[in-house]
Amino acid sequence: MKLLALETANEQCSVSLIDEVQELFFQLDARPKAQTQTILPLIEQALLKTGIQFSDLTAIAFSRGPGSFSGVRINAAVAQALAWSQDLPVIPISSLQALAQAAYRLTGLTQVSAVLDARMKEVYIANFSLDDHGIMQAVDAEKLLNYEDAADYSQFEIIGSGSELIKPDLVKSSDDSMSKIIATAQDISIIARVSAMQQKWVDAEQALPVYLRDDAWKKIPDQGKAN
């Protein structure tokens, strides 16, 4: 089994290539909003450095959102195009789940409330708990909420870019590194490995983005405004 994992949903770009037991390649380009320029070169680099071809891949995993509107769209479009051209299945992974997985990978936390800044005084949020496979699983639904409602919705230690928005006093009085945790393709690949082992994937046409905000395309000019 070999999986290609892509992450562009949070305004950065990373690619991971794994097999059943180890990571074969990982590269992160941390420049903000450079996904369109970097995603395809990073994929090409991953294949060249590992000597793996598209025909060797089992599936393509990607962060399907929620997150940056353009980043989510890029990730889904690239994953879908590659999967279609190579007749490969896809494994869509929630970017909130990937964020929770990053918190476990980096800090060892086994229960977190993953929160991403959604702009316009709202956040994306869901609560996660570690399962027997070492994967952070949602214990409730993903939501798009205002700050006050999100604070009430959170159950565990809050992490991610939205944490300082919904509970600023708590974040400032504790370790603010929790607000700086970001998901990468490493976290996408870790989650997707278990899914691939169980053959839990979908066809390329189901490589669809998840925005939570139904009219996100109408509000792009507002997303850069101060909260």
CA atoms within 13 A on the CB side of 84: 9
pLDDT digit string, tens, across residues 165-218? 998 775 554 556 888 999 999 999 999 999 999 999 999 999 999 999 865 444
| pLDDT value, residue 32 | 79
| pLDDT value, residue 225 | 42
CATH of domain 95-178: 3.30.420.40
Q: Which CATH architecture has domain 1-92+182-220?
A: 2-Layer Sandwich (3.30)
pLDDT digit string, tens, across residues 82-136? 999 999 999 999 999 999 999 999 999 999 999 999 999 999 999 999 999 999 9
pLDDT of residue 224 exceeding 60, the answer is no
The phi, psi pair for 173, rounded to 5°, reads -90, -5
Integer distance in angstroms from the first to the last C-alpha of the chain? 44
| pLDDT value, residue 119 | 92
| pLDDT value, residue 10 | 82
pLDDT, averaged across the chain: 91
| pLDDT value, residue 176 | 67
Q: Which of 211, 206, 217, 210 is nearest to 80 (CA)?
A: 206
Could you tell me where the beta strands, DSSP code E, fall in 106-173?
Answer: 111-117, 122-130, 136-138, 143-146, 157-159
Every domain of the chain and the residues it spans: 1-92+182-220, 95-178
Residue 36 pLDDT grade (very low, low, confident, very high; cuts 50, 70, 90): confident
Structure tokens at 200: 């839990």
| pLDDT value, residue 199 | 95
Q: Which residue in the block uniquely carries the two structure tokens 């949070």? A: 10
* Cα–Cα distance list, 72 to 23, 78, 117, 139, 166 (Å): 24, 10, 14, 23, 23
Please determine whether the domains at 1-92+182-220 and 95-178 fall in the same fold group of CATH.
yes
pLDDT of residue 223 exceeding 60, the answer is no
| Distance between CA atoms of residues 152 and 110, nearest Å | 20
pLDDT digit string, tens, across residues 127-152? 999 999 999 999 999 999 999 999 99
